[in-house]
Structure 1
């Protein structure tokens, strides 16, 4: 039998993933500051990588199986088959805006900015998901039709509609409003960090957990 290549997430899902591995195998070893994990089955090779990368790596055939968040499977549009909801790492992907804004949701915000001919800027790590969610808004369709929002990253700029922009975030997304952007699409477990940064949740985009 050939070696099975198994990729697991580093970061927020890491600790719970190792608890799962400890239950499934009698011996799980890893050295500090390395990305290799050793099980008591020599036919399984395990490596830790960022969860954002895992769906694409499995889709490309570089690994046979992986664990990552359902949110990243959707974001990467990777051709993979979810086998099992592992029921940990539960989060919500939400839209949040400064708590003194009076908009009840993103749809209302899009409509108001469009009427005033203002540029709406949103920060997120989830560019694909953000673009899809925005384009499904009734107000977006009313004012901008099928135009793609502009996606802004340090290395490229995509899309036609400059009036609605999605700016790539490399983390600390909740720190961006109101000076840099008007709203964020970010993950949360309890909403506490958003509240501490004077943001309020106005939409839930999706719910996610770790999947095999």
Structure 2
């Protein structure tokens, strides 16, 4: 298991984002050399966990619980076959493109060591948005991505350090609850009956998903 690329984006003005200024950093490109990874700070005020990576929509992206976005090259290859087009590393807005790792099947709370020092922890799947659809230029993309539920994973930074393409990825810890990034995504989008199962991962779950699960359970108890 390894990193195929480390990808960062610059703020660019586009016609397909809902931001008033039209800026987005979704267009990530592979970069040479090491990139510093660290916890960026609270959501709403902090952006990416990767140095040099722009996050423009701080309301929905960035912050400690979404510091790094990972996507598997195997899933990009699957989409290439389905869409009939080439998909470069970083084109889904991912910060790290992996090889040999089931990213969507990673467990909430699972920890990865990347390179010598960096440790990341899985928090949730990725919810597609209008900007993602506009960036790819695929009609009905939000619906298609949601249906497949191969979401990739958001991660928080447990131990900072530098990463680069070619770094080994080692799974340090896998919790026993069975709640994956893909399950979390399905529970919070199309299969809300799964929400109670997310509570098994409460200690490591993205705060928004945890709040949704608790609200659903409380509503069922009324």
Q: TM-score, normalised by structure 1?
A: 0.23
- Say which one has the larger Rg: 1
Query: Could you say which structure has the greater relative contact order, defined with CA pairs below 8 angstroms and 6 or more residues apart?
Result: 1
Q: TM-score, normalised by structure 2?
A: 0.23
Structure having the larger proportion of residues in strand = 1
